[in-house]
Structure 1
């Protein structure tokens, strides 16, 4: 079995059409068919059922499809380790990000890491929460950040920081008459929300806040990024709900962040990691998170020498 067999399998499994798969791979359909047949012979199972009308995965094919990406992930990580070593780094941390982690806190954390451990390379992977949890179990990531502590057995969820929940309001909107906006007033208008598939932890926390009201929210759009949420709010399309620091960048676009009336709810960001003894590098990384929480996300003063450090 060679990597070309796996690459061909992945594309055919995605397309479920040999002609389209061959076009994506820039090869003829005949050698593609031979490659898949070689793979099936090597595994001793049939991966695809082909008819004149359709192509579909067998049960064995679906199981194989679930495992093949790990081969390429491991290969990519091996390349990254070699490159990091060539660039002068002595260790590497693989950090997964889900739910649109608060930018201010993350940038401050990274500045501190570069200042205190410049020889450790940190790689980030933006993935849905379910993929982060799976990757932690499979040792594809050393740790991750998400807005959910519902992670199942074998994974530890430790609070990293809290961010006050604010309402994103377009400039010149009637709700700006309120310094603190009552939730029932917010629910009179359509909302743009994070897609629950890609912002799973965020949506769980937001849904808990909305359940406190008797009104059913009118969700105008579900988005995969907070940048798109800000853009839609700025255009007057809907209101948004997010952490205060996530909304800070919207000021230039004419978006105003206002707290909710009453006791302001917070969005909690959690550090996720496997329930095993952490490495020395990860232990130091975890300790810095407490320092960031105490700083409240303020910018660190980074010496000139650090600014000129390795990218």
Structure 2
């Protein structure tokens, strides 16, 4: 059914006068008459009864007027939702976090996006960098936070933040008494780390920075930073941990130590497919670009 004709009929039903209705609609009266007759043909019965002083609605016309009002209101709301989706103000954004970056910049970024875009359905999951990349390539995500470096064809990265890498040591370890630890002092220490397959790029980046002469002596692997720090607190060994996550967890029995220059760091980035970008993702990227120190 022609929505324009319904809108014309609704105005006529309110005015019950062709002249006034045509004036409100900014069209000529004969054109309005033609549109009403066309609507009556579409429906198959008369909708108005014409008389010298104006017109009146038939029984069917009253039903059409009532239903037309609701239908046009729904259509207008739908148009607004479509425009909002195109602009990224509505729709859905499927986003994955990386376990080692919970809290800090990531949580603040998501909270700000929710505040600015309350109508966007933000679906958030958490996984390892390698898992997040696999989900993104399978198009089950729109974007994912990861720990670079990343060497995957078809994906782009937007830098979010850089943080210092600390060394967690047991509270009763001799290194716990030192202000900063050297690479030489940690070279032979037993190390607890997470499995390399969780994030090969970050794993290699960490070991190359801290153990440049042969790699760490890994004696145990833990699935995430919390379990890693708990293992450190139990005296199993030492472990490299991003500063933000380590300080947020605050595990008793684990002491956090800085490393002497050059200071080791890890990056945080958002990765996505540039050729398949939802409008809501564009707004999320715009928010990232507005971050202090963002380099795009």
Q: TM-score range by the shorter chain?
A: 0.5 to 0.7
Do residues 197 (structure 1) and 178 (structure 2) align? no
State the distance in 2 between where 1:225 and 1:111 align.
24
Aligned to 2:172: 172
Distance 2:149 2:233 in 1: 31
Deviates more, 1:127-136 or 1:236-245: 127-136
CA–CA separation in structure 2 for the residues paired with 1:216 and 1:150: 21
After superposition, the Cα gap between the structure-2 partners of 1:127 and 1:252, relative to the gap in structure 1 and judged at 3 Å, is: closer
Quick check: which has more Rg, 1 or 2?
Answer: 2
**Contact between 1:171 and 1:256, CA under 8 Å: does it hold in 2?**
yes
Q: Report the RMSD for the aligned CA atoms in angstroms.
A: 2.5
Residues 99 and 209 (structure 1), Cα distance of their counterparts in 2 relative to 1, 3 Å cut: farther
Are 2:285 and 1:286 aligned? yes
Correspondences of 1:1-311 after superposition (within 5 Å): 90-98=90-98, 100-212=100-212, 214-276=213-275, 278-292=277-291, 294=293
Give the number of aligned pairs: 207
Say whether the 8 Å CA contact 1:99–1:202 is kept in structure 2: no
Deviation by residue 1:245-300 (Cα, 9 ceiling, x = unmatched): 011034352322211111212101121100226333112212323455559xxxxx
Whole-angstrom distance in 2 between the partners of 1:161 and 1:278: 22
- What's the TM-score, normalizing by structure 2? 0.63
Output the CA distance in 1 between the equivalents of 2:205 and 2:99: 11
Compared with structure 1, are the counterparts of its residues 171 and 211 closer, same or farther at alpha carbon in structure 2 (3 Å cutoff)?
closer
Task: Name structure 1 gaps, 5 residues minimum.
Answer: 1-88, 296-311
Alignment partners' CA distance in 1, 2:99 and 2:250: 21
TM superposition score normalised by structure 1: 0.60
Local SS of the residue matching 2:104: helix
Secondary structure, counterpart of 2:193 in structure 1: strand
The answer to whether the 8 Å contact 1:160/1:293 transfers is no
What secondary structure does 2:110 align onto? Answer: helix
Give how far 1:217 is off. Answer: 1.8
Segments of structure 2 that go 5 or more residues without pairing to the other structure are 1-88
Query: What SS does the corresponding residue of 1:276 show, helix, strand or coil?
Result: coil
Greater shift in the superposed pair: 160-169 or 125-134: 125-134
1:96 is paired with a residue whose SS is strand
